[in-house]
Amino acid sequence: MRVDAARNLELVLTTAARLLARDPTTSIAAIAAEAGVDRRTVYNRFDSRETLLAAIYQARLDAVEKAVDDARLTEAPVAVALHRYVEGIISATRMWPVELERMRADTEIRDRRGDIIQRVADFIQRAIDEGVFRADLPKGWIESLLRHIVHVAAHEHPEIEAAQAADFVVDSLLRGAGQT
C-alpha cells in the first residue's frame, strides 16, 4: 500500500470510529467528508458499512493487543505493568472509541477479545498472588473496577493526557483495592 493510501485508510478508520461512537447511524458520505477524502475512496476500500465497521473493530483490537503486549503483564513488576497497560488502553480507547461488544457475533473478534480479557484476568490474579491486590474481594471485582475507571479516564476526562490519567487510575486502583 502506498504511503498516502495507508495514511488515508488510517484517517478514514479513525474518523469513522470517532463519528460512529457518537452516532452509529453516521453515513459513509459524512465519514468521507469529515476525513477529507472522496466518498469513492471509502467505497473502493470498503464495499459496505459492515466491512468498514469490521475494519474499525480489527484496528481497535490491534491497538488493545499492542497495549497488552507492551505492558508485559507477565514479566514486569505489577505496578509497572499496570501503569503501562492502563496508559496503553486509555490511548487505544481514545483513538478507537467504538465498543467491541457490538461485534460479539464475529467469532474472530470475540475470540481475540476473550484472549485479552483472560490475559488481564491472569495479570490481576498474579497481582493478588503477589499481595498487591486484596484476595478477599469477589471474583472479577478488580477487573470490573479497572475496566470502569479506565473508561472514566478515557472518555470522561479526555483533557488529561494518557500518562497522567494512567497515574490517577493506578493510584486510585491501588489505594482502593490495594493491601492495607
> d(Cα 38, Cα 98) in Å, to the nearest integer?
23
For residues 39 and 115, membership in a common domain is answered with no
Contacts of 157 (CB under 8 A, 6+ apart): 165
For residues 95 and 167, membership in a common domain is answered with yes
For residues 85 and 153, membership in a common domain is answered with yes
Which domain CATH number covers 125? 1.10.357.10
Contacts of 125 (CB under 8 A, 6+ apart): none
For residues 109 and 169, membership in a common domain is answered with yes
For residues 56 and 137, membership in a common domain is answered with yes
CB burial readout 8-17, b (16+ within 10 A) else e: bbeebbbbbb
Domain count, the chain: 2
Higher pLDDT, 82 or 24: 82
User: Which DSSP string corresponds to 108-141?
Assistant: HHHHHHHHHHHHHHHHHHHHHHTTSB-SSSPTTH
For residues 65 and 41, membership in a common domain is answered with no
Give this prediction's pTM. 0.87
For residues 53 and 43, membership in a common domain is answered with no
Q: Note the pLDDT tens digit of each residue in 41-61.
A: 888 889 888 889 889 988 999
For residues 65 and 154, membership in a common domain is answered with yes
Q: Note the pLDDT tens digit of each residue in 127-174.
A: 999 999 999 999 999 999 999 999 999 999 999 999 999 999 999 998
For residues 137 and 170, membership in a common domain is answered with yes
**Mean pLDDT within 113-132:** 95
Q: Note the pLDDT tens digit of each residue in 7-17.
A: 888 899 999 99
- Determine the structural domain holding residue 138 and report its residue range: 49-177
